[in-house]
Amino acid sequence: MIRPGLSLLLALIFLPLTQGAPPIPAPVTALAFTPDASLLVAARPRTLLLFPSIEPLPPKSIPIDLPKITCLAIHPDSSRLWIGGGIPGESGVIVELALPGGTEIRRWTRSSDLIQAVALHPGQQSLIHSTADQLQSLALDPDSASTPLTFNGHSGRVLGIAFAPDTSLLVSVAADRAVKVWSPRNASLLRSFGHHTEAPQVIAFQPGATPPTCATAGDDRTLRIWQPGIGRMVRIVRHHHGSILALAYAHDGQSLYSAGTEGIVRRIDSTSDQVLHSWPASSDWLLSLATDPRSPRLATGDATGTISLWIPDGTALWHWP
């Protein structure tokens, strides 16, 4: 039998472990500006945040019943948003929301594993998404009779996908270290690159580039520039000292931003391997990055849940929370 005085002592000892524990961080796993630059959309576990993109007003918080949200895609007219996520090893879900309010339109359960990446083909009104080592198409029109496409070829989890600006090509990166180029019309594999020595995590296309040009980067600490339509690697940027987890081109295509486990944002010249500027943007990992489609601003999200808005010289316009 425990004496009353001892019971009180035990309660005081264990109180900090139960009631005084710090909150678990909610990492910012995806960021995107709407094409009309009116909103900044941020994803955290079970939550979507909609920020007015000009000032750090309190964001609109939309509960999403997905333990993990990995990716975002926004319609060119800024009226709809698709989010992908789910539970690793259990379920993959895509949810369509109306903007700017965030009302759910519909959802799809697509696999027994997490949806890792999504990319919108506005011309075909379809969404390409990754399910483990495959890519699949999803018709957005519920009355569509089109046959879903399956893109087979990766031997590891597909981590990122992106369409060329003219949607003539689809490029994917995966845990098998490969960069693959596909025809969106029939899901045929056009070419494959094996230059990365560790898994490439992310991909971004350069606005206005002819021929289409994209960048990939990841765990081998390199950033590689490609012309995927003609099968050419253009250059390598080696000035990183940790995994690169986020990439985004500036709205004018003249700069490329990278971020990752170092917590540093780098602004890289699009025509060379020169780092034009860099700054420490977080004391933790930077997991997501997005550039404003109509101005030089960019946003970052980190593993602690902090979202920041910057100008290219590294000056912070605001941090949230």
Check residue 57 and give its pLDDT.
Answer: 77
Tokens of 236: 């390598």
**Are the C-beta atoms of residues 85 and 131 closer than 8 Å to each other?**
no
pLDDT by residue (tens digit) across 15-50?
344 345 556 779 999 999 999 999 999 999 999 999
- Rounded to whole angstroms, how far apart are CA atoms 299 and 41? 10
**Gyration radius from the chain CA atoms:** 21
Q: What is the mean pLDDT of each run of 10 residues along the chain (321 residues)?
A: 40 40 81 96 97 84 96 97 95 96 95 94 91 91 83 96 96 98 96 97 97 98 97 96 98 98 98 96 98 97 97 96 92
Strands 200-205 vs 214-218: parallel, antiparallel or unpaired? antiparallel
Check residue 179 and give its pLDDT.
Answer: 98
**Are the C-beta atoms of residues 184 and 122 closer than 8 Å to each other?**
no
CA 24 to chain centre: 21
- Rounded to whole angstroms, how far apart are CA atoms 127 and 221? 30
pLDDT by residue (tens digit) across 160-176?
999 999 999 999 999 99
Task: Give whole-number Cα distances, 97 to 15, 70, 170, in Å.
Answer: 42, 16, 24
What would the DSSP string read from start to end of 278-295?
A: EEE--SS-EEEEEE-TTS
Tokens of 104: 């759910």
Check residue 296 and give its pLDDT.
Answer: 96
pTM of the model: 0.91
CATH number of 25-146: 2.130.10.10
Check residue 23 and give its pLDDT.
Answer: 64
Q: Which of 282, 309, 314, 287 is nearest to 298 (CA)?
A: 309
Check residue 147 and give its pLDDT.
Answer: 86
Largest Cα–Cα distance of the chain, in whole Å? 80
Check residue 20 and give its pLDDT.
Answer: 52
Q: Provide the 10 A C-beta neighbour count for residue 124.
A: 18
Amino acid at 46: R
